[in-house]
């Protein structure tokens, strides 16, 4: 069952003795400290419980041999802090918040290589949509908006983004909106709170007759777990009914975030259809090597001369056409010329 993350967050060092009398500190998450110690002792190991690296008597570096006890006590906390800073470099990113390479406000779309339908990325012109949305169209049918609305945005900006967000493009039949909106919709989704952002989003949902799949398939199930409380702020929204729809909010997959991993599976029959719903024409292929045969080459020439005999094609006349009628006549002649070449090749070179 889903449950809030443990409030016992953080790391601590577990010190164990070594043969050279210098203890080794192992950095362990607080959730696993007691289990780690018990396992170590059960396997014949030892744990130093009263080892305090902030005390001067723990300093073994020879360069501090001339320091007095008082001086050692003063320098020990700084040495301890230096060791902690080195340890932080080996801790995963959520703890090492000073990582300069960590992303911010980013949206990414990952596509399964087995997905065989065309994907078109929409480049928004408005700076608000460019910054807070990622939009694609699948197979000319399904419009998808990946949306992130950070808590720092004011109410007016939220309304502007939602109003600018296109809910339909040429040829699209369905629209899906997904992402972290930081909006709590209260009783509409089974959340315990209805925040001001939620009112903006709810008015937008109502005015566009949009479907909130969280309400239908995971009512009351939090998407974000925080020590201040749980909330529903990540959504799947659509403008049409999907078939065989399932929404899963996973608590067994860590994203190194308070937000839970969510998946929405559904069927859109129109997505599987070709854009123009017409079969692809079969491409004609000629074996031009056959023209090396004198008999076939002669046959091709004879057929081509026969097909083009009635035509008097002057390509330069296209530039001199004085009327639409003359232009149409020239186009018809060129088409007939092309068809004559095609028929001759098809007759001789297949």
Task: Kindly report, residue by residue over 219-245, the tens digit of the pLDDT.
Answer: 999 998 887 789 999 999 999 999 899
Q: Please report, for the chain, the start and end positions of each structural domain, with discontinuous segments joined by +.
A: 11-88, 119-272, 288-349
The percentage of residues in the chain with a pLDDT greater than 90, rounded to a whole number, is: 31
CB 133 within 8 A of CB 158: no
Residues constituting the chain: 350
Question: Rounded to an integer, what distance in angstroms lies between the CA atom of residue 252 and that of residue 37?
Answer: 26
Question: Rounded to an integer, what distance in angstroms lies between the CA atom of residue 162 and that of residue 126?
Answer: 12
* Distance set, CA 128 to CA 157, 162, 165 (Å): 8, 10, 10
Write down the CATH number for the domain with range 119-272. Answer: 3.60.10.10
At residue 24's C-alpha, the angle toward residues 23 and 25, to 5°, is 120
Question: Rounded to an integer, what distance in angstroms lies between the CA atom of residue 239 and that of residue 168?
Answer: 9
Of the segments 14-23, 236-245, 321-330, 332-341, which one has the largest average pLDDT value?
Answer: 236-245
User: Is residue 315 predicted with pLDDT exceeding 50?
Assistant: no
Residue 291: pLDDT band with limits 50, 70, 90: confident
């Amino acid at each position: 069952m889903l449950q809030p993350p443990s409030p016992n967050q953080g790391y601590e060092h577990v010190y164990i003795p070594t043969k050279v009398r210098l203890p080794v500190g192992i950095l362990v998450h607080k959730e696993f400290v007691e289990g780690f110690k018990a396992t170590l002792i059960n396997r014949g190991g030892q744990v130093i419980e009263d080892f305090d690296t902030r005390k001067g008597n723990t300093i073994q570096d020879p360069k501090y041999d001339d320091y007095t006890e008082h001086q050692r006590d003063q320098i020990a906390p700084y040495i301890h802090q230096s060791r902690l800073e080195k340890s932080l470099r080996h801790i995963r990113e959520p703890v090492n918040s000073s990582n300069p390479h960590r992303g911010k406000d980013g949206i990414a779309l990952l596509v399964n290589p087995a997905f065989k339908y065309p994907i078109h990325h929409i480049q928004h012109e408005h700076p608000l949509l460019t910054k807070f949305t990622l939009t694609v169209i699948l197979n000319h049918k399904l419009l998808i908006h990946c949306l992130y609305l950070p808590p720092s945005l004011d109410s007016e900006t939220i309304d502007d983004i939602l109003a600018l967000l296109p809910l339909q493009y040429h040829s699209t039949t369905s629209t899906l909106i997904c992402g972290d909106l930081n909006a709590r919709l209260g009783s509409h989704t089974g959340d315990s709170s209805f925040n001001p952002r939620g009112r903006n989003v709810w008015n937008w949902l109502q005015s566009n007759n949009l479907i909130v799949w969280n309400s239908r398939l995971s009512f009351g199930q939090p998407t974000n777990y925080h020590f201040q409380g749980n909330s529903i702020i990540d959504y799947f929204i659509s403008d049409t009914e999907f078939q065989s729809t399932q929404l899963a909010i996973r608590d067994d997959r860590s994203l190194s975030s308070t937000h839970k991993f969510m998946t929405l599976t559904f069927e859109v029959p129109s997505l599987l259809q070709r854009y123009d719903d017409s079969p692809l024409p079969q491409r004609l292929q000629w074996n031009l090597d056959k023209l090396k045969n004198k008999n076939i080459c002669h046959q091709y020439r004879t057929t081509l001369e026969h097909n083009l005999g009635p035509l008097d094609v002057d390509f330069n006349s296209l530039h001199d056409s004085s009327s639409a009628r003359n232009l149409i006549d020239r186009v018809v002649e060129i088409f007939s010329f092309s068809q004559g070449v095609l028929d001759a090749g098809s007759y001789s070179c297949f």
